[in-house]
Amino acid sequence: MISVQKFLNIKSQQLAYFVRAFWNDRIVYKELDLYFWDTMEEWSQVSHLADQPSSQQERVFWYVLHQLHFWPEQHLREDSTLRNDLDLCVNFLESQEDYPLPFEYSGARP
């Protein structure tokens, strides 16, 4: 089994790549959806405890993943507020630095 932190380190970079590739028309929306479902399946194999606290990286990761799954393609492409929010989160995930983001960018484990 893979640890939560190893999972996040790998999947955060992949998530950032997929978001940017989608915005730059290098992948289609369907690829984002497939990435979501693949990630859910992989998460089921991660060794974690339900009461184990989540890191800021993890909360931001789940937030972004949820937003990609929740909003339709057109909204993800054209809503400037949503794109700015997701861009901030993706930058955070790419940097792997622990700087505080507003609480609103906080997702929960599935």
User: Does residue 106 contact residue 59 with C-beta atoms inside 8 Å?
Assistant: yes
What is the tens place of the pLDDT at every residue in 5-56?
899 999 999 999 999 999 999 999 999 999 999 999 999 888 776 667 788 8
Burial of residue 110 (number of CB atoms within 10 Å: 0-12, 13-18, 19+): exposed
Q: Is the dihedral of CA 37, 92, 107, 84 positive or negative?
A: negative
Contacts of residue 82, defined as CB under 8 A and 6 or more positions apart, other chains included, come to: 67, 71, 75, 76
- Per-residue pLDDT band at 98 (split at 50, 70, 90): low
pTM for the structure as a whole: 0.90
CA angle 89, 84, 67 (to 5 degrees): 60
